[in-house]
Every structure is written in structure tokens, then in C-alpha cells.
């Protein structure tokens, strides 16, 4: 079966799937959108995105996340500045800030007069971030199905305390990431960004690092070709190494542990 979605996803003319559904088509064709038309996201669309998010699995049904929908242009501009001066946050009609939320459970415990010490452990912090991520990605796919586009914004972790103040977050919560949502501008110079070959990420039964990594050079060439098409330089390996070189490449996020502690997520 000729399968343009799969070949684009891998940047590999030989890539094929043996099965293909409408859901898979949406997933294969998704890309981050950073340019939006002036059309608003309707209240019904927002409700549908949140319903999709709430349909995601959630650890022990704790539902340990919240989301703040920001439409106010001034607030979006302030959030854009705090999140690394990313202009598309101010341009998108809707900015969803996904909150890792351990405060709802604490409020519950306070009202019940019970202990909530497990919330202070790293496991709970991981749990709330995982819950928020699963929910948000469900919203991403729902947005795609409605003809909307989106991009995640980890930049909200550059200044978590200032973001918390801007959104009046209670203690024991932190903005995990943002999601800018709107109608994609069809003229944005971007495409489906190829991913690593499956052989680099899929192991059978046990992990075999050397065999997996042997597929990286081919991917570097494919991603370099993709980047060149959109006026960017370099392959994948270079960018990974630059992104992870040291704390100076983290836009302030190397302080996250101490900030989490101050925000009331001590993560023991």
C-alpha cells in the first residue's frame, strides 16, 4: 500500500504500515503549529478538548491535573515573555496551561482532616506530570480532529514561580507545560518532522543499544534534509547534544528541583 503519511513520518520512502485507520492518519500527520489564523477557538471546541483530555487514563483515577485556559491577549503576551519570548503564544487565540496539580488532593485531605504525606514524594510529582501529559496529548489529537493545530510549550518551566503568580496557582501545583491552540495558518513553512526509524526505538524482549544506535546516521541525514527544506541547519544528533550539553542550555530549568520545593512539591 502506498502510504505517504508513513513515508513523511519517517522521511523514508520505504516506510510502510500494514494497517491504517482514521486515528492513525491523524496521528501520523500531526505536527507542531506555530502560526495561526485570526479565527478564535470556540467555547464548544474548548469543551471538547477538555473532554478528550479527561478521557485519558489517569493514575489511580487521581486526575491530578488542572488546565488554565488563557484567552486574554495581555495575559498571553505576559506568558509569552515568561516562556522564552515565544511570540506564537501571544498570536494563538487560546493558550492552555496544563497544571501538575497535587493541591486538589491536599484540599480534600484538609477537609477530611487526614494526612497526605505521600504527595511529598517524587513518585507523586512524576505521577502528576504523567497525568497532565497524557491528558494534554489527548487534547492535541482532539484538536487535530477539529481542524485545529497546536504546539506544546515547555518554556513555561523557564520561570515557574512567575507563571504561578500570573495564573494565581495555589501551592502544590506547577505549570507543567503550555499548549498554544488555534487554526493553522496554511502558509506556515513547516511539515511533518521525520522521526527516528522504528529500529532505533523499538526493542524486542530486551534492549540492544548498539543495534538500535546503528540506525541513527541514516536518521541524521533524513532530518538534515528536512531541516534544509525549512531553512534550518544540522541533523538530529547535533541538536540533541546541543540541547543537553549543560545547565546553560536549559533556559533556567536547571533550577526546577529547588523551585518545585518552593512551590510545595518537595519530591523527596
Ligand X SMILES: Cc1cc2nc3c(=O)[nH]c(=O)nc-3n(C[C@H](O)[C@H](O)[C@H](O)COP(=O)(O)O)c2cc1C
CB distance 17 to 4 below 8 Å = no
Q: Which of 7, 32, 59, 267 binds ligand X (CB under 6 A)?
A: 32
Provide the minimum distance between the beta carbon of 158 and ligand X in the complex, in angstroms, as a whole number.
9
The verdict on 262 binding ligand X (CB under 6 A) reads no
Only segment of 26-34, 92-100, 113-121, 201-209 that touches ligand X (CB under 6 A): 26-34
The verdict on 25 binding ligand X (CB under 6 A) reads no
Residue 42 CA to residue 47 CA, distance in Å, equals 9
| SS3 per residue for 163-184 | HHHHCCCCCCEEEEEEEEEECE
Quick one: 82 or 153, whose CB is closer to ligand X? 153
CA distances from 17 to 10, 24, 29, 204 (A): 11, 10, 14, 18
The verdict on 11 binding ligand X (CB under 6 A) reads no
The verdict on 152 binding ligand X (CB under 6 A) reads yes
Q: Which of 79, 153, 164, 196 binds ligand X (CB under 6 A)?
A: 153
The verdict on 92 binding ligand X (CB under 6 A) reads no
Residue 1 CA to residue 186 CA, distance in Å, equals 28
The verdict on 79 binding ligand X (CB under 6 A) reads no
Residue 268 CA to residue 266 CA, distance in Å, equals 6
The verdict on 54 binding ligand X (CB under 6 A) reads no
Q: Which of 66, 86, 173, 183 binds ligand X (CB under 6 A)?
A: 86
Cell readout for 144 is 487535530
Provide the minimum distance between the beta carbon of 43 and ligand X in the complex, in angstroms, as a whole number.
26
Q: Cβ-count burial of 9 within 10 angstroms (0-12 exposed, 13-18 middle, 19+ buried)?
A: buried
CA distances from 259 to 134, 211, 255 (A): 23, 39, 6
The verdict on 226 binding ligand X (CB under 6 A) reads no
Q: Which of 75, 78, 104, 193 binds ligand X (CB under 6 A)?
A: 193
The verdict on 63 binding ligand X (CB under 6 A) reads no
The verdict on 149 binding ligand X (CB under 6 A) reads no
Provide the minimum distance between the beta carbon of 133 and ligand X in the complex, in angstroms, as a whole number.
7
Residues with Cβ < 8 Å from 100, sequence gap 6 or more? 64, 65, 125, 128, 129, 131, 132, 173, 174, 175, 176, 265
In the complex, the residues that contact ligand X under the rule CB under 6 A are 31-32, 34, 86, 151-155, 177, 193
Amino acid at each position: 500500500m502506498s502510504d505517504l503519511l508513513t513515508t513523511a513520518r519517517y522521511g523514508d520512502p520505504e516506510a510502510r504500515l500494514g494497517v491504517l485507520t482514521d486515528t492513525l492518519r491523524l496521528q501520523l500527520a500531526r505536527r507542531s503549529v506555530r502560526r495561526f489564523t485570526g479565527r478564535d477557538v470556540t467555547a464548544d471546541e474548548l469543551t471538547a478538548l477538555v473532554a478528550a483530555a479527561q478521557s485519558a487514563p489517569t493514575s489511580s483515577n487521581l486526575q491530578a491535573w488542572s488546565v488554565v485556559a488563557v484567552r486574554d491577549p495581555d495575559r498571553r503576551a505576559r506568558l509569552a515573555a515568561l516562556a522564552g519570548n515565544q511570540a506564537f503564544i501571544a498570536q494563538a487565540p487560546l493558550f492552555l496551561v496544563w497544571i501538575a496539580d497535587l493541591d486538589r488532593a491536599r484540599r480534600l485531605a484538609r477537609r477530611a482532616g487526614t494526612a497526605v504525606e505521600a504527595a511529598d514524594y517524587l513518585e507523586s510529582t512524576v505521577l502528576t506530570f504523567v497525568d497532565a501529559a497524557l491528558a494534554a496529548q489527548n487534547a492535541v489529537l482532539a484538536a487535530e480532529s477539529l481542524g485545529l493545530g497546536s504546539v506544546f510549550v515547555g518554556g513555561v518551566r523557564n520561570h515557574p514561580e512567575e507563571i504561578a503568580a500570573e495564573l494565581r496557582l495555589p501551592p502544590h501545583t506547577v505549570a507543567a507545560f503550555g499548549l498554544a491552540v488555534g487554526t493553522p495558518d496554511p502558509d506556515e513553512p513547516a511539515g511533518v518532522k521525520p522521526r527516528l526509524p522504528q529500529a532505533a526505538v523499538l526493542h524486542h524482549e530486551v534492549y540492544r543499544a548498539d543495534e538500535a544506535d546503528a540506525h541513527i546516521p541514516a536518521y541524521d541525514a533524513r532530518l538534515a534534509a528536512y531541516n534544509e527544506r525549512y531553512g534550518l541547519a544540522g541533523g538530529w544528533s547535533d541538536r540533541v547534544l546541543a540541547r543537553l550539553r549543560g545547565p546553560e542550555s536549559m533556559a533556567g530549568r536547571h533550577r526546577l528541583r529547588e523551585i518545585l520545593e518552593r512551590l510545595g512539591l518537595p519530591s523527596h
